Amino acid sequence: MTITPARPAPLLRPLAALLGSLLWAAALMAPPLAEAAKPVPTVAPRDDDAPDTVTYGRRDDVLALAAEIAQQQTLDAEWVTEALAQARFVPAVAKLMQPPPPGTAKNWAAYRARFVEPRRIRAGVAFWQAHATTLQAAERRYGVPAAIVVGIVGVESIYGQQMGRFRVLDALATLSLDFPRDARRDRSAFFREELGLFLAHCRRQGLDPLEPRGSYAGAAGMPQFMPSALAKYAIDFDGDGHIDLAGSAADVIGSVAHYLASFGWQAGMPTHHAVAVPVDAGDRAVLLGPDILPSFTAAEFTERGARLDAAGLRHVGPMALVELQNGAAAPSYVAGTANFYAITRYNWSSYYAMAVIDLGQAVAAAAKPPSTALRDGPPKPKPGAKASRASPKAN
pLDDT, tens digit, 9 for 90 and up, residues 172-192: 999 999 998 877 788 999 999
φ/ψ (deg, to 5) at 325: -75, 150
For 250, residues 6+ apart whose C-beta sits below 8 A from its C-beta are 131, 134, 237, 238
SS3 content of the chain, % helix, strand, coil (to 5): 50, 10, 40
Instruction: Give 195 or 2, the one with higher predicted confidence.
Output: 195
**Distances from the Cα of 155 to the Cαs of 43, 65, 270, in angstroms?**
41, 34, 20
- Quick one: average pLDDT of 144-170? 98
| pLDDT at residue 369 is higher than 50 | yes
pLDDT at residue number 260? 98
Residue 231 domain-assigned (yes or no): yes
| CATH number of the CATH domain containing 350 | 1.10.530.10
Mean pLDDT of 161-171: 97
Domain count for the chain: 1
Q: What pLDDT shows up at residue 378? A: 35
Q: Which one of 156, 193, 194, 323 is the catalytic residue?
A: 156
Residue 5 DSSP class: P
Is 153 among the domain residues?
yes
Between CA 297 and CA 163 the distance in angstroms is 40
**Alpha-carbon distance 204 to 242, whole Å?**
10
Share of the chain above pLDDT 70, in %: 79
**pLDDT for residue 104:** 74
Q: What is the pLDDT of residues 38-74, one digit of tens each?
A: 343 333 334 444 454 689 999 999 999 999 999 999 9
Residue 277 is classified by DSSP as -
Give the whole-angstrom CA distance, residue 7 versus residue 10: 9
Q: Is residue 195 part of a domain?
A: no
pLDDT value at residue 103: 67
Q: Is 322 helix (H, G, I), strand (E, B) or coil?
A: strand
Residues 6 or more apart in contact with residue 197 via CB below 8 angstroms:
73, 227, 228, 230, 231
Q: Does the annotation mark 156 as catalytic?
A: yes
The side-by-side arrangement of strands in the sheet containing 272-276 is: 307-308, 272-276, 329-336, 320-326
Residue 145 lies in a domain: yes
pLDDT at 168: 98
Tell me what pLDDT residue 99 has: 76
Confidence category of residue 24, pLDDT binned at 50, 70, 90: very low
**Would you state the pLDDT for residue 376?**
33
Q: pLDDT at position 185, please?
A: 85
Instruction: Assess if residue 357 is contained within a domain.
Output: yes
φ, ψ for residue 86, nearest 5 deg: -95, -5
Query: Where in the sequence is the domain holding 354, given as residue range(s)?
Result: 117-163+221-268+340-375
Residue 72's alpha-carbon distances to 67, 82, 94, 121, in angstroms, are 9, 17, 26, 43
pLDDT digits (tens, 9 = 90+) for 90-137: 999 999 988 777 767 899 999 999 999 999 999 999 999 999 999 999
Could you count the other beta carbons within 10 Å of the beta carbon of residue 358?
Answer: 15
Residue 97 located in a structural domain: no
Is 329 exposed, middle or buried (CB count within 10 Å of its CB: 0-12, 13-18, 19+)? exposed
What does the alpha-carbon distance between residue 61 and residue 182 come to, in Å, rounded to a whole number? 20
> Rounded to the nearest 5 degrees, what angle is found at the Cα of 353, between the Cα atoms of 348 and 354?
145
How far apart, in whole angstroms, are the C-alpha atoms of residue 252 and residue 156?
A: 12
Q: Is residue 389 pLDDT above 50, yes or no? A: no
The dihedral formed by the CA atoms of 59, 62, 64 and 66, expressed in degrees to the nearest 10: -140
Q: What is the pLDDT of residues 278-303, one digit of tens each?
A: 999 999 999 999 999 999 999 999 99
Give a yes or no: residue 246 inside a domain: yes
Other beta carbons less than 10 A from residue 81's beta carbon: 17
pLDDT for the residue numbered 126: 97
Distance set, CA 225 to CA 174, 198, 235, 356, 367 (Å)? 18, 11, 12, 16, 27
Average pLDDT, the chain: 85
Residue 312 lies in a domain: no
